[in-house]
Amino acid sequence: MPEQVIQGLNFLAQILEIIGAGALVLGFVIGTVRYFRQIRQLGASTAFGQYRQSLGRVVLMGLEILVAATIVKTITVDPTPKALGMLAIMIGIRTMLSWAMVLEMTGRWPWQQAAADPPE
């Protein structure tokens, strides 16, 4: 690949890393502010449940962006077997975290269908 393309993709990976980290921080701040506002309106228990779901969604989104940045960086900057192995491990960990968070937020595994509403 031409050097300019590699530099451009490396810059893109850095931008994605900044966006991913920013999404995590911003999502945490916004979710926390909403949590304290909702405590008064919904009660602590309901507000906490929504807060946990909100943070779970933020973490999943941030991880997806960071994985995209790592894929771009690994393919363009350091396509060694060691880097590819580390990428595979990171994607595996992200997948397991994603499954655990979906289970926590919905009460079912991602591959399970949601329970049908009972007939009226």
For residue 78, the model assigns a pLDDT of 73
**Contact, 71 vs 62, CB < 8 A?**
no
Domain ranges in the chain are 3-106
User: Of the candidates 62, 83, 59, which has an alpha carbon nearest to the alpha carbon of residue 72?
Assistant: 83
Name the token pair of 88.
Answer: 């595979």
What tens digit of pLDDT does each residue of 63-90 get?
889 888 888 888 887 788 888 888 888 8
Per-chain mean pLDDT for the chain:
85
Compute the distance between CA of residue 113 and CA of residue 53 in angstroms, rounded to an integer.
Answer: 19
Q: What is the pLDDT of residues 19-62, one digit of tens each?
A: 999 999 999 999 999 999 999 898 888 899 889 888 888 988 88
Res 97 pLDDT > 60: yes
What pTM was estimated for this model as a whole?
Answer: 0.73
